[in-house]
Amino acid sequence: MNTIATKVLQRFTESFASTPNLYYSPGRINLIGEHVDYNDGFVLPAAINKGVYYAIAPNQSNEIYFYAMDFDEQLKINIADIKRMSGWQNYVLSVVNEFTLLSNTIKGFDCVFAGDIPRGSGMSSSAAVEGGLAYALDEMLQTGLTRVEIALLCQRAEHNYPNVQCGIMDQFANMMGKKDHVLLLDCKSLEHQYFPLHLQGYKIVLLNSNVHHTLASGEYNIRRQRCEEGLGILKSKLNIQSFRDITSVQDLMAFKTLMPEKVFNCCLYVIEEIARTKKAAALLQKDNIVEFGKLMYATHEGLSQLYEVSCKELDFLVNVASKNSDVIGARLMGGGFGGCTINIVKESGVQQFIQKATIEYQQNLNITLEAYITETDNGTYKIIN
């Protein structure tokens, strides 16, 4: 068993007399399709081998007990007192609250959890925290939800107490991921396909900028509002339902003067990114990883210049990657404003790339870089019971 899983289990058995179930709930990467999940676009995520481990057992009371090992913090709360709080508490309580709203069957339980997803890294530790707990509670309460229903419940949980108006990508990847595969998810219909990840001598390397600008969740909601405003204007002029119905950028240009510049730029990025992701998925199916990588750079450009969710640290790291011929694609990953870049790197050049990026990052920005070579994993699963 993984060392974190062992630690979580040990801590649980030291604290409680019951025997818990143990779960693993993964973080995610996203190859391409950024900031389009809440815009009816397509995304290409995968669940990864960094995540959150949960030990959990019912306690025959009305009390819920959480111990967050990574923070060395606990929370004991009566079911009747569940409310919005701050920090990690908000995520777990919001999941519990969703079960109450859904079926009012919540019962007391004891829970210990810990993980190895660096916070604010863009690998979606929040979806991992939500997904692991929701999956465990679904089993414990016998709610009988499907994995997709659990993902949707977790998305509602993130909207509710933490007030991040996220799309469905992270929670969907957390529940539906499949080892050695990426998911092509249609965020409008939730139809999805699995593509085997044939990296042919390449590795997926994440470079963690180790910055996380605090604006992130507020700015995230602002991007979402800009898109809604732009789409509203387009819908009033064109017979469309969503951005994907605009298949040519020319169609958007005609309405440029009707929108504030920032709204227009967001619309332009989204329309381009939806088209790019479709193209990228087709390339991946044909194992054309080199052309795929070029589209990742184009995504970064759009995220940085049009969508304005990058920052100097992420731009710096993508620039370092673009000068290295072993790196065929790089871009910021996730919500932005810090966190990781995702890079597709020739296996033989991985160590050199990491070394060089680490030195240059330290020299120019005086920040220590962290790098992870990523492996895919399955969506949330039970380890033991």
Q: How far is the CB of 169 from ligand GLA (least distance, A)?
A: 5
CA distance 314 to 6: 35
Which x/- pattern, by CB under 6 A, does the window 304-343 give for ligand GLA?
A: ------------------------------xx--------
Nearest Cα neighbor of 331 from 304, 306, 362 is 304
41: contact with ligand GLA by CB under 6 A: no
Q: 170 catalytic, yes or no?
A: yes
Q: How far is the CB of 45 from ligand GLA (least distance, A)?
A: 9
Positive or negative torsion for Cα 295, 301, 306, 311: positive
CA distance 120 to 383: 26
Q: How far is the CB of 120 from ligand GLA (least distance, A)?
A: 11
| Count of Cβ atoms closer than 10 Å to residue 92 Cβ | 27
Nearest Cα neighbor of 58 from 12, 7, 117, 10 is 12
Nearer to ligand GLA, 39 or 343 (CB): 39
Q: How far is the CB of 85 from ligand GLA (least distance, A)?
A: 20
| Residue-by-residue DSSP string for 354-367 | HHHHHHHHHHHH--
Q: Binding residue for ligand GLA (CB under 6 A) from 8, 22, 35, 121?
A: 35
Q: Cβ neighbours of residue 383 under 8 Å, at least 6 residues apart?
A: 1, 5, 22, 23, 24, 53
Helices (H), the chain: 3-15, 88-103, 125-141, 147-160, 169-176, 216-237, 249-253, 261-285, 289-301, 312-322, 350-365
Range in contact with ligand GLA (rule: CB under 6 A) among 16-24, 29-37, 177-185, 239-247: 29-37
Q: Binding residue for ligand GLA (CB under 6 A) from 34, 138, 273, 313?
A: 34
> 40, 170, 315, 377: which is the annotated catalytic residue?
170
38: contact with ligand GLA by CB under 6 A: yes
Token pair for 197: 């990840």
Nearer to ligand GLA, 97 or 125 (CB): 125
CA distance 366 to 104: 51
Residue burial 8-31, b: 16+ Cβ < 10 Å; e: rest: bbebbeeebeeebbbbbbbbbbbb
Residues 56-115 that bind ligand GLA (CB under 6 A): none
3-class state of residue 253 by DSSP: helix
Range in contact with ligand GLA (rule: CB under 6 A) among 35-43, 202-210, 261-269, 344-352: 35-43
Nearer to ligand GLA, 5 or 303 (CB): 303
Q: Binding residue for ligand GLA (CB under 6 A) from 25, 27, 37, 182?
A: 37
Q: How many residues bind ligand GLA, per CB under 6 A?
A: 11
Q: Which phi and psi angles does 126 have, rounded to 5°?
A: -65, -45
Residues 152-181 that bind ligand GLA (CB under 6 A): 166-167, 169-170
138: contact with ligand GLA by CB under 6 A: no
Q: How far is the CB of 335 from ligand GLA (least distance, A)?
A: 4
Nearer to ligand GLA, 9 or 44 (CB): 44
CA distance 32 to 17: 46
Nearer to ligand GLA, 118 or 334 (CB): 334
CA distance 233 to 247: 17
Q: How far is the CB of 223 from ligand GLA (least distance, A)?
A: 9
Instruction: Give strand pairing partners of 207.
Output: 341, 371
Range in contact with ligand GLA (rule: CB under 6 A) among 5-13, 18-26, 32-40, 319-327: 32-40
Q: 99 burial class (0-12, 13-18, 19+ CB within 10 angstroms)?
A: buried
3-class state of residue 382 by DSSP: strand
Q: How far is the CB of 35 from ligand GLA (least distance, A)?
A: 4
Q: Which residue has the tokens 């790089």?
A: 330
Nearer to ligand GLA, 5 or 52 (CB): 52
Binding site for ligand GLA (CB under 6 A): 34-35, 37-38, 124, 166-167, 169-170, 334-335
Kindly list the catalytic residues. 170
